[in-house]
Amino acid sequence: MKIRSVQAIPASIAYNHREVSFQVARDGVSDVVVRVETEDGTVGWGESCSGSDTVSIVAAIEAMSAFVVGRSPWDVERMRKDLLHHGLWQFREGTANFAWAGIDMALWDLCGKDAGVPVYKLLGGAVRDSVNYFYYLSWDNEEDMRQQCARGLSLGYGVFYLKVGRDIEADVKRVALVREIIGTKPLLRLDANGAWSPSEAISNLRKLQEFDIDFMEQPVKESPPELMRRVRDSGIMPIAANEGLWTEADAISRILAEVADVYCFSQYWVGSLRNFQFIGSLAGRQGGTVCKHTHGEFSIAATAAHHVLLTLPKIVEGNQQTSAHMTADLSEVPIKDGPKWGLPIAPGLGVEIDQDQLADASARYQRDGQFLPYQLDDLRAGWRL
């Protein structure tokens, strides 16, 4: 089985609610769907995260296809080694990881289909029968927050996630409101996206401590790593690292330095499903826990990461996903709108693409461009022009 073609298809799907945080303000997901076809007509599907610039990811995938076409999908690790070294992608590791992750998914999908088994079995088999996911709350007025919380509870979610970091007094009020609505049983997590200095973080964590926070994600900037360690050592609440796990080396060094209790990353950051599994296993063996991260994603990437999570030694309840907030889905059988995802049964990733939905999402991208992670008018309002 040899690969005949690699196709990059940029596509956009809207959220049903704007995502707003200290860092971003966006209305949907623009990713690149990767379609890899073999000479016998078998198709593997993948998804590359676009980050801030979808066009650059499309260009990267197209450049990387030279290291893929004509080879067997079972040579996936050799392909990646070749493109990093001979293709010089090692000098643009972040973009390389985001782009290659989609090709990598499609190759694993093909291998699973060729072997007739789900991908998680190729990764060594599941150590659990299901994975639990969170419900993402977006900043808004009180009534809207109440509606969001009520919907999450009605769907059975037991882990809620809220961004903080702009204004601590407003943060405290918002967190208090969410805790009041969801009650004492569900877990509540917060993410500051590196908004605070270590002293601010320690002070703010004390103000938020009374609301029984499961963990605080990225309270301080990622570098130097000692900043995170200082906040973790305060012992106020568990700390999760997210920013700073940009590459294999970054993730491994921070896990070995034990800068956090939870490590929140995904295949995009470290370039492949196998690397996600390896580094996630390392985190577990170092006493940490893995929380799968999302940049916002379609069902392809969410399902691919799910296969890895089924195999890891130690993961959180309430991994990240945004399927509950998407207005459409590319899969013929949409991801379950709920917190518990079980064992995939079909060979490969188990995602069959709805061609009409893909065409619609692709047309939206071509018509409107990508969903940017910021609102330019809002940024300009704060600039001194």
pLDDT digits (tens, 9 = 90+) for 335-375: 766 899 999 999 999 999 999 999 999 999 999 999 998 88
pLDDT at 141: 87
Q: pTM here?
A: 0.96
Residues 6+ apart with CB under 8 A from 50: 10, 30, 31, 32, 57, 98, 370
- In the chain, the percentage of residues whose pLDDT exceeds 70 is 99
Spatial separation of the C-alpha atoms in residues 44 and 303, rounded to whole Å: 13
Beta bridge partners of 348: 118
SS (H, E, C) 169-215: HHHHHHHHHHHHHHCCCCEEEEECCCCECHHHHHHHHHHHHHHCEEE
Burial class (CB in 10 A: 0-12, 13-18, 19+), 28: buried
Residue-averaged pLDDT of the chain: 95
pLDDT at 378: 79
Spatial separation of the C-alpha atoms in residues 77 and 325, rounded to whole Å: 34
Residues 6+ apart with CB under 8 A from 222: 194, 228, 241, 243, 244
More confident residue, 374 or 100: 100
DSSP alpha helices (H): ranges in the chain?
54-64, 76-85, 93-115, 119-122, 142-154, 168-182, 198-208, 226-233, 248-256, 267-270, 273-285, 299-309, 355-368, 376-382
Domains and CATH numbers, the chain: 3-118+354-382 (3.30.390.10), 121-341 (3.20.20.120)
